[in-house]
Structure 1
Amino acid sequence: MPVVLDTPAAVRRAAMDLLARREHGRVELSRKLRQRGAPEELIEPALDRLIEDGLLCEARYLESFVSYRARSGSGPQRIREELLQRGLPRGAIDQALRDSGIDWRTQLEDTWRRKFAGQLPLDARERGQQTRFLSYRGYPMDLISRLLRGQFEDD
């Protein structure tokens, strides 16, 4: 039986259920509540109250998202793009990436070693394959180029 979200209490309860599973951004949580049938005039006040109560925090969401995606091997460019698609402001995203304390060079190297067993490309085809994979994962081209030229060991 579907839950009817026609009162402020019902909308708040549905939002808190979603937040209990994982952190959400305001835009994402609003979208999910709309999909569940909550009217717009009830969503915004409920989200404002959740922010006041400290239950909805975009900074916490950004920190959690960046950390999770980095652990799964995504680079900063891919993470930034995913967060932009979720409706978060670029400035807040860039700040979260800076504050994360993640060494993207080390992340790149770990991702590369897991996928390619630490084998530098022997020819242009392999170089292209490795470059495309790492670029798709969201790592900057300058770091990828240095890694594939074997220049990380020099640092």
Structure 2
Amino acid sequence: MDALDCLFTRRSIRQFTADPVDPEALNTALEAAMSAPSAGNAQPWHFVLVRERALLDAVPGFHPYAAMSRQAQAGVLVCADPALEKYPGYWPLDCAAAVQNLLLALHAQGLGAVWVGVWPEADRVENFRKLLGVPAQVIPHSWVPVGVPGQPAHRADRFRPERVHENRW
């Protein structure tokens, strides 16, 4: 898929088919996530790949916006270890860049996904820690349910020229 086509056609997919997800596609997407930029190239992230049905089904029990996890064939919990940072305080940006790369790589391979926020909601952070055994010093940042799209995705024009300010506001 052309890079610009991938950027312009990626959409949040909240409906999935029951078709399996290729493990190699997940691995490739995780490689892409780890290719994201990070402050000082510190790469303070960790990823928990979830394919166990019971775990996927448990997420909507504590996350009000993660119902699609019950249809997903996989999920990725993007986490940060602040101890790995070179420049303290940038881990949320680093993880966000990794999530975007993950979403684009999944879309480029014909898979669907949606970015579900976890941090800074303390209850969501703690529930993911408990469910997936995330160590206390690691911070769950985002949840990404993954599957074969069960809904169409098409390009939407979101460009707003009035939001572009040249040289000065």
Q: TM-score, normalised by structure 2?
A: 0.24
**Of Structure 1 and Structure 2, which has the larger fraction of its residues in helix?**
1
Bigger relative contact order, structure 1 or 2 (CA pairs below 8 A, ≥6 apart): 2
